[in-house]
Amino acid sequence: MIEIRFHGRGGQGAVVASKILACAFFKEGQWVQSFPAFGVERRGAPVMAFLRVDASKILLRTNVYYPEHLVVLDPTLIDAIDVTAGLKPGGSILINSAKSPADFPKLAAFKVATVDANKLAIKYRLGSRSSPIVNTAILGSFAKSTGLVSIDSVTASIIEEVPLKPENNANAAKEAFENTIL
């Protein structure tokens, strides 16, 4: 079983991202389980979402405590909370950042990848300049950085699941796939 944990802030789309990625894995014949966890529901508050993927039925019904992969939609969370709590040794961390993976030395024990999802969200008019919605762009980067799911399944799931600007969202994911720094 593959376990993935998303860290974001309310309004960035972490919960929707886990749902879209679940759909992409499902398209590829996998069993999936996606669900959120949040305290006070307000814009800007830390949010987590979880995703499990397996070749067989998933019966486990708990939060994801020991993920293999992390997706961090807001890089300020890295210093605000322990996003790496429970991350398995050698696990991967995908960070929405214009910086390179080498710019995160305290994460050197993990496989770090980065993508400037903010820039892509602004380019494709996803959210506003002051509050870009980065969830779909980061999914394209997840496909590239992990190789676990195809970009075609990700973009098809975006087209099906995103009600506003589905083509812009899919294009942001494709461009993020191409611009991921490993």
DSSP string of 128-169, one letter each residue: -SSSB--HHHHHHHHHHHH-SS-HHHHHHHHHHH--SSHHHH
Instruction: Inform me whether the pLDDT recorded for 45 exceeds 90.
Output: no
Q: What is the CATH number of the domain that holds 171?
A: 3.40.920.10
Q: What is the pLDDT of residue 11?
A: 83
Report pLDDT digits (tens) over 133-179.
999 999 999 999 999 999 999 999 999 999 999 999 999 999 999 99
Q: What is the pLDDT of residue 3?
A: 98
Count up the domains in the chain and report the number: 1
C-alpha dist (Å) from residue 174 to 78, 131, 152? 26, 21, 9
Identify residue 37 by its one-letter amino acid code: A
The average pLDDT across 69-89 equals 96
At residue 14, the 3 state secondary structure works out as: helix
- Pair of tokens at residue 136: 């779909």
Residue 80 belongs to domain spanning: 2-178
Average pLDDT over the chain reads 95
44 pLDDT band, cuts 50/70/90, is confident
The average pLDDT across 105-111 equals 96
The average pLDDT across 85-99 equals 97
